[in-house]
Amino acid sequence: MDEAIAQFNAAAKNANPIGGTIKFMLDGNAVYIDGSGDANVVSQEDKDADCTITTTMENLIKLKSGELNPMMAVMGGKVKISGDMGLAMKLQTLLG
């Protein structure tokens, strides 16, 4: 989990603010990204977000490597998205 946080932090610092908040629930652990200000801030706070994405660490790694297609992952139930779909579409910059 620490490695995932470090990777999100590195990607978030290099990306433009996403314009809202996103929470990843990875194997029951929260990763919260607040991009509503001048920069994206990553924490492990478990609080309400504009968009929540629930998946496993294994599926997140597959998404990042290109082994798992994001649309197929959602359609197949491997990734669940609730809330602002527009924010979910901006995730490519944070997962890249």
What are 62-92's pLDDT values in tens digits? 998 999 999 999 999 999 999 999 999 888 7
Asked, for residue 54, whether it belongs to a domain, the answer is yes
Residue 38 has pLDDT above 80, yes or no: yes
Length of the chain equals 96
Asked, for residue 25, whether it belongs to a domain, the answer is yes
Q: Which CATH number do you get for residue 39?
A: 3.30.1050.10
Number of domains in the chain: 1
Domain limits for position 64:
2-90
pTM of the model: 0.91
Which candidate, 4, 14, 1, 15, places its Cα nearest to that of 64?
A: 4
What is the rounded distance in angstroms from the CA atom of residue 71 to the CA atom of residue 11? 21
Per DSSP, the three-state class of 65 is: helix
Asked, for residue 45, whether it belongs to a domain, the answer is yes
Asked, for residue 95, whether it belongs to a domain, the answer is no
